[in-house]
Structure 1
Amino acid sequence: MKIAFRCDASERVGTGHVMRCLTLARAAMTQGHEVCFFVSDIDAALEKRINATGIRIIRLPSLEYGCQQSSVAIEAEYETSQQETEARYFLSTVAGYQLDWIVVDHYGYGEPWISAIKRAGYCLLLIEDWPHRKVSADLLLDPRPGAVASDYQEYIRSEKVLSGSGFNLIREEFFAEPCSSSRRVQRVLLNLGGYDHRGLSADILDALASEDFVNKLSFTVLLSQSSPAFSRIQSRSQSSEYPFSVNLIDHCDDMAGLYRSHDVCIGASGGSLWERVAMRLPTALVIVADNQKPQASYAEDNGLVKVVADYSGTAGSFDTSAFRSLVESDEVRQSMQDSSANLIEKSGSRCVIQAVENTKPEGMTLRSAIVSDMRDFYRWQKQPGARRFFRTPQLPRWSQHRRWYQGVMSDASVSLYIVLFNGEKAGYVRVDGAVTSSKSSSVGSSLGSSEVSILISRNFRGRKLAVNALKALVSRYPETRFCADVAPGNFASRKVFKRAGFQKTGGRRYEY
């Protein structure tokens, strides 16, 4: 399969969406699937990291809108018009990649964006953090430990939900060697995510600077240089204003090793929370957004962390007393490690990919044809009357069909798609000519554009599959001009193409 990931990383939303998609993408690659990332916002360091894995990144256009995105909550869904516009740009960009599944991990995209992608015949997996909206995705993944399918019963059917620790998106390296128990806390890691755009790291260090119990501690602060806290911490550290030592770093290539080298972590309640749980690193948890509250509550209720701050609103403060109890109590830290020991035993990313492989999407979908579909093409053409209006009505011998199919599969100017109905093969669509060409272009088949033909098995007729497949095709390639050559007397095909929005332009020719 060819799987596309739609996600972004920025100072406002952090790096978590991209990192968990990267975990899932690497699992897909080990299963033999092709993957690529489509992003509109990502920094150079993260882009370099993804490229190092051999995954291709395709840039989407950054669109300007009348409202300022910075004034909208991080987890807020975009306005409908914005989602529809971005869906059109996305479909135009992915045209020609012949994708089978699209994985979207993006707060801004809800049902308007998802339904536009589904109309184009794609299968879609949505990654969510908390139940809050109805969606028509083929699969919904909530990888948080403690999440259950019934949480989403108001929004999507439970059999479409992958949830809980068995489907976690934690990288394999966080399970290799857990953190050891420490009888005395000496080294503290402070990491509030990839960017900390609000500068909370500096506020926390300022709050701790007035406490005497931290004077002998050593702090490592992992923080992007783009964070407003970076220069504040750097300045105070260089002028020795902190009563404790501070090692300020702006990146880390080995997070598992960084966790192991520390006794306690002050960390945000994002995706990295579960990395620390898997590593059994005692954590003082900081909530920085409303959507983090459910998993923070679950983690604290199960003895995995101690919540020390809630900055989800406009105000918040760091509970130094709660942090002190974690630092000074061996029993509290050991209890956290014991509670974490059996909660997450291994990465669940392969289980997610297996679920994708085994999913039979509802309704009509399109996927790229593969070698093993060869016999299905021949079987459909053997059905009575199937080739009646073909340019060559005579059924070829199997050896001829095999040579034809192998030639078409290796021809970059021809695209073959399987029409699926509820996951079952129901027919095919063939496109001759470049499906990425502009509607103003005359490049394509002999008819002057990309020529489309379609065949639906007799067993699946009467379900409007031909019409819906053609509508999906033109939605999938909005910048392509399509045409069809409909033979005289083929009244059924005329009706199908008209219902799909094609117009007769003369003789046998229909255009879209």
Structure 2
Amino acid sequence: MKVLIRADASPTIGSGHIARCLTLARELRRQGAHVAFACRLLAGHRLQALEAEGFETLSLPDSYPGEDPQQAIESLLPWQADIEALEHVLADRPGFDWIIVDHYGLDHHWQTAARRFAPRIMAVDDLATRTYSVDLLLNQNLSGTQAVYEGLLPEHCRTLLGPRYALLREEFRCEAIEIKPKVKRVIVNFGGFDAAMQTHHAMLALADYPGLEVDFVAGADNPAWARMQRMAASRPHWRLHSFVGQFHQLMLEADLFIGAGGGTSWERAAMGLPTICIAVSNNQRANGDVMATFGAHVYLGPRETVTVEQLRQAIGFVVDNQCLRQSLAEHSRRLVDRLGASRVAVALAGALLRVRPATQADARLLFEGRNAEAVRRVSLDHSVVDWDRHCQWLQASLVNSQRLLLVGEAADGPVGVLRYDLQDSEALVSIYLFENRLGLGWGRALLARGEAFATAHWPQLRSFTAQILPANQASLALFRQAGFSQGTCVFTRVLKDEIDE
């Protein structure tokens, strides 16, 4: 699978778009994909860092004709110029399977035009304020619900909504931090650029708490950098960092985080790190509100409305309140299970999933897959199948014209198994995934590919039926999502309206 990511970084845009796309790119590469980044040469671009990680990078111009260099982060770019720039750097090279666009300035016009480079487009979004022309949309925020996208998406578009799909780096798959009786160590970070100088405001608020050890993480391009250096120099318990190679380690050692409401929200949630949050851009406000309602952080509001004194009071309220911090940690940890990047990568790879008829050479693969404890637990037959019995069953299945046995394969190996048993114009379907594929969304792609294969193999098919145990909640949800209607533990999908008579 070949993926092109279109995202930018600058003091105005921030670095969050590149950061979360980089997390996804690492996961895609781990699953066998080739990933390239196309970024503009704006001040603060991250092309060298992406190259250092071994990703292909494509440089786009730093300015386009008619573009206002001071335009707001959510203002639209001249999309035709951006497409022309892409055409130039992509000339004479093969196309991509997917384009991922994480950019507030590129709307449905750009997304439609970009299909000349790839047949499938995915958008990473926080706004839900404009029309989209995409096949897959990711909004990892609690505020990203199906209702807010009503009328904005094409009918065929699949949505990945909520922190179940949060793009968390590998190091945040960790145990919760310890909640101590009193806060001793604080970390402050408002993104890679912090053009609004919120780190400096936090310094002013924390000046009245000399007993706290504080790590301030802010790029050297921060407009208040010189002032922050002077303040930190006179306080031995303060450390000002322009770059941190092990940011998550600072977070692990902290008792309180003060920062913005961007992608770091989910890193903090994964660790159960109590947080005082201030939204530094419009796209962070809705999620800040909803997370506060959920009890996952203390949200003070948008930066324009938060004074240094209000932040100082909030710090004083939180540092001595262990019960509050314990509650924040527990509520935030419930939001994420740290598998979001894998799920998003599977949604992309699933579109290219291949199914093939099983062969005798698959005997060991199917034997171990069927006997896995997690598979047996939700099967109609819980018993362990012995090897001789399995080989007899497989041999009989392969010569049975009324049975279709399929293996699903991704770029990095087998995914799962489908079995269809034909009865007149109906097929009974059963499915299982291999243990290392569970809980990531492979089942949906496998069912879709299998259905297409089965209907081509048996043109007389008019419906599929599946029998699911009531306790098998994952399969119940899977078949509902796949368009099956539920009876009493029986799911049916009718095809007669989808096949020409």
How does the TM-score come out when normalised to structure 2? 0.66
Aligned partners of 1:91, 1:205: CA distance in 2, in Å? 46
Tell me the secondary structure at the aligned position of residue 333 of structure 1. Answer: helix
Q: CA offset at residue 49 of structure 1?
A: 3.6
Q: CA offset at residue 302 of structure 1?
A: 0.9
Q: 1:204 aligns with which of 202, 207, 210?
A: 202
Aligned partners of 2:150, 2:257: CA distance in 1, in Å? 35
The one-character-per-residue Cα deviations of 1:268-296 (angstroms, maximum 9, x if unpaired) are 10111111111111001011111111110
Change (3 A) 1:221 1:120: closer
Change (3 A) 1:32 1:325: same
Cross-structure match for 1:135? 132
Q: CA offset at residue 93 of structure 1?
A: 1.4
AA partner of residue 146 (structure 2): A
CA contact (8 A) 1:145 1:164 kept: yes
Cross-structure match for 1:24? 24
Aligned partners of 1:33, 1:333: CA distance in 2, in Å? 41
Cross-structure match for 1:11? 11
Please tell me whether residue 114 in structure 1 is matched to residue 104 in structure 2.
no
Cross-structure match for 1:90? 86
Change (3 A) 1:298 1:158: farther
Change (3 A) 1:41 1:176: farther
Please tell me whether residue 60 in structure 1 is matched to residue 65 in structure 2.
no
CA contact (8 A) 2:10 2:44 kept: no
How many correspondences in the alignment?
356
The one-character-per-residue Cα deviations of 1:432-459 (angstroms, maximum 9, x if unpaired) are xxxxxxxxxxxxxxxxxxxxxxxxxxxx
The one-character-per-residue Cα deviations of 1:336-361 (angstroms, maximum 9, x if unpaired) are 1111232211221121122123338x
Change (3 A) 1:168 1:158: farther
The equivalences for 1:326-341 within 5 A come to 326-341=318-333
The equivalences for 1:218-233 within 5 A come to 218-233=213-228
Cross-structure match for 1:287? 279
RMSD: 2.8
The one-character-per-residue Cα deviations of 1:88-127 (angstroms, maximum 9, x if unpaired) are 2112212314212111111110112111112555311111
The one-character-per-residue Cα deviations of 1:207-239 (angstroms, maximum 9, x if unpaired) are 343x4xx1211211001000112111102222x
Q: 1:259 aligns with which of 235, 241, 251?
A: 251
Q: 1:178 aligns with which of 176, 179, 184?
A: 176
Aligned partners of 1:149, 1:354: CA distance in 2, in Å? 20
Q: CA offset at residue 45 of structure 1?
A: 9.0
The equivalences for 1:309-388 within 5 A come to 309-311=301-303, 313=304, 316-318=306-308, 319=310, 320-359=312-351
Tell me the secondary structure at the aligned position of residue 104 of structure 1. Answer: strand
AA partner of residue 217 (structure 2): L
Change (3 A) 1:358 1:149: farther
The one-character-per-residue Cα deviations of 1:36-83 (angstroms, maximum 9, x if unpaired) are 11111367894444234321222112224445332x3222323xxx11
The one-character-per-residue Cα deviations of 1:481-504 (angstroms, maximum 9, x if unpaired) are xxxxxxxxxxxxxxxxxxxxxxxx
Cross-structure match for 1:499? none
Q: CA offset at residue 135 of structure 1?
A: 1.1
CA contact (8 A) 2:42 2:62 kept: no
Cross-structure match for 2:263? 271
Aligned partners of 1:54, 1:346: CA distance in 2, in Å? 24
CA contact (8 A) 1:150 1:158 kept: no
Aligned partners of 2:67, 2:90: CA distance in 1, in Å? 27
Change (3 A) 1:147 1:339: same
Aligned partners of 1:47, 1:121: CA distance in 2, in Å? 22
Tell me the secondary structure at the aligned position of residue 228 of structure 1. Answer: coil
Change (3 A) 1:24 1:298: same
CA contact (8 A) 2:102 2:125 kept: yes
Give the greater-gyration-radius structure (CA): 1
Tell me the secondary structure at the aligned position of residue 265 of structure 1. Answer: strand
How does the TM-score come out when normalised to structure 1? 0.65
Cross-structure match for 1:453? none
Q: CA offset at residue 321 of structure 1?
A: 1.6
Change (3 A) 1:88 1:195: same
The one-character-per-residue Cα deviations of 1:362-415 (angstroms, maximum 9, x if unpaired) are xxxxxxxx9x9xxxxxxxxxxxxxxxxxxxxxxxxxxxxxxxxxxxxxxxxxxx
Change (3 A) 1:146 1:62: closer
Aligned partners of 2:449, 2:84: CA distance in 1, in Å? 25
Tell me the secondary structure at the aligned position of residue 76 of structure 1. Answer: coil
Q: CA offset at residue 310 of structure 1?
A: 2.1
Q: CA offset at residue 200 of structure 1?
A: 2.1
Cross-structure match for 1:435? none
Q: CA offset at residue 257 of structure 1?
A: 0.9
Q: CA offset at residue 423 of structure 1?
A: 10
Tell me the secondary structure at the aligned position of residue 187 of structure 2. Answer: strand
Aligned partners of 1:67, 1:33: CA distance in 2, in Å? 34
The one-character-per-residue Cα deviations of 1:141-179 (angstroms, maximum 9, x if unpaired) are 112245333321220138521111222111121122332
AA partner of residue 264 (structure 2): S
Aligned partners of 1:273, 1:136: CA distance in 2, in Å? 28
Change (3 A) 1:135 1:317: same
Aligned partners of 1:249, 1:287: CA distance in 2, in Å? 22
The one-character-per-residue Cα deviations of 1:307-339 (angstroms, maximum 9, x if unpaired) are 13521x4x6424222221111211110111111
Tell me the secondary structure at the aligned position of residue 224 of structure 2. Answer: helix
Cross-structure match for 1:76? 75
AA partner of residue 73 (structure 1): A
Q: Gaps spanning 5+ residues in structure 2: where?
A: 357-447, 451-501
Please tell me whether residue 215 in structure 1 is matched to residue 205 in structure 2.
no
AA partner of residue 120 (structure 2): C
Q: Gaps spanning 5+ residues in structure 1: where?
A: 361-369, 373-421, 425-512
Cross-structure match for 1:101? 98
CA contact (8 A) 1:144 1:165 kept: yes
CA contact (8 A) 1:286 1:309 kept: yes
Aligned partners of 1:47, 1:188: CA distance in 2, in Å? 31
Aligned partners of 2:41, 2:316: CA distance in 1, in Å? 39
Aligned partners of 1:47, 1:118: CA distance in 2, in Å? 24
Cross-structure match for 2:165? 167
AA partner of residue 38 (structure 1): A
